[in-house]
């Protein structure tokens, strides 16, 4: 009886071994099946300043203004820069006044043209051809409509800020106005216009040339600013928002 029980135990162990082997093989095959295949390559879009998706030339309008700002035509861009510098030097360094310059320029032009026309009639030659300048009604209406849309958009943004609906815009507008007031107290309007023109003729072309480096630095800076703003929001702005609720409870 003891020998018979030992034999039965041995047969049960032999029968269980292949089952365990099959179970382990099935588990291994199942785990192999569950292993994910090689993930497809995902194209990570690089960061672009102001979240733009088009080249700088297209963002600026792809017209003559963009060509001048990006120095596509170096002669025109250099001429604009030289003319603006000459006008600024004439007013700021020489001390000319705008009204005086306009009146004397018109006086000189009219004197030359009038004398030329009279001389042509005396010597029986055709008078100088002076082109007619006419602003079409369609163009005038288009300009006025564009100005109206811009003014309405600015008014809507200011109204939204005044009603306290967007705290970020409020802080941004306050910061911009403070910067402009500080700059305006240091320089006059003509110098400010000249600085703006110089910025438009230098910053876009430099950004287009060093686009990769500037975008990388801007991404790091914006990430840091967002982190600082999150801390400021959690410590200060959240307390401002909770203030009226606490007052109502008391």
pLDDT of residue 25: 44
The mean of the pLDDT values for the chain is 76
How many CB atoms lie under 10 A from the CB of residue 69? 21
* Domain-embedded: residue 31: no
54 against 32, higher pLDDT? 54
Question: For 45-99, how does the pLDDT look when each residue is reduced to its tens digit (9 = 90+)?
Answer: 666 666 666 777 777 777 788 888 888 888 898 999 999 898 888 888 887 787 8
Question: For 146-168, how does the pLDDT look when each residue is reduced to its tens digit (9 = 90+)?
Answer: 899 989 988 888 888 888 777 77
What does DSSP assign to residue 134?
-
Q: Exposed (0-12), middle (13-18) or buried (19+): which is 189, by Cβ within 10 Å? A: exposed
pLDDT of residue 108: 93
79 and 117 together in one domain = no
Range of the domain at 119: 99-123+146-187
- H helices present in 130-187, as ranges: 137-162, 167-186
Q: How far apart are CA 109 and CA 112, in angstroms?
A: 5
pLDDT of residue 33: 44
203 against 237, higher pLDDT? 203
* Domain-embedded: residue 211: no
24 against 143, higher pLDDT? 143
163 and 117 together in one domain = yes
Question: For 215-230, how does the pLDDT look when each residue is reduced to its tens digit (9 = 90+)?
Answer: 888 888 888 888 888 8
87 and 104 together in one domain = no
Is the confidence at residue 35, as pLDDT, over 80?
no
Is the confidence at residue 4, as pLDDT, over 50?
no
Q: How far apart are CA 160 and CA 137, in angstroms?
A: 34
pLDDT of residue 209: 85
pLDDT of residue 106: 92
Is the confidence at residue 137, as pLDDT, over 80?
yes
* Domain-embedded: residue 177: yes
Question: Rounded to two decimals, what is the model's pTM?
Answer: 0.54
63 and 116 together in one domain = no
183 and 111 together in one domain = yes
Average pLDDT of span 26-38: 46
| Domains contained in the chain, number | 2
169 and 105 together in one domain = yes
Is the confidence at residue 30, as pLDDT, over 90?
no
């Amino acid at each position: 009886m003891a020998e018979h029980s030992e034999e039965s135990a041995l047969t049960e162990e032999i029968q269980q071994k292949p089952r365990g082997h099959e179970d382990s093989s099935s588990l291994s095959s199942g785990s192999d099946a569950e292993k994910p295949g090689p993930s497809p390559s995902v194209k990570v879009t690089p960061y672009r300043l102001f979240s733009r998706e088009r080249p700088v030339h297209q963002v600026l309008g792809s017209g003559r203004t963009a060509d001048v700002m990006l120095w596509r035509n170096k002669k025109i861009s250099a001429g604009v820069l030289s003319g603006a510098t000459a006008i600024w030097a004439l007013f700021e360094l020489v001390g000319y006044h705008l009204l005086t310059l306009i009146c004397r320029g018109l006086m000189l032009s009219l004197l030359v043209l009038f004398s030329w026309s009279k001389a042509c009639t005396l010597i029986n030659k055709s008078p100088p051809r002076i082109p007619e300048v006419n602003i079409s009604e369609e163009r005038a209406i288009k300009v006025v409509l564009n100005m109206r849309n811009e003014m309405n958009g600015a008014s809507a943004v200011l109204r939204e800020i005044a009603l306290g609906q967007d705290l970020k815009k409020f802080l941004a507008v306050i910061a911009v106005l403070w910067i402009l007031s500080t700059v305006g107290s240091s320089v006059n309007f003509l110098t400010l216009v000249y600085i703006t023109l110089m910025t438009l003729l230098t910053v876009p072309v430099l950004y287009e040339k060093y686009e990769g480096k500037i975008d990388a630095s801007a991404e790091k800076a914006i990430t840091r600013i967002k982190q600082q703003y999150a801390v400021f929001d959690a410590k200060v702005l959240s307390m401002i928002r909770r203030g009226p609720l606490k007052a109502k409870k008391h």
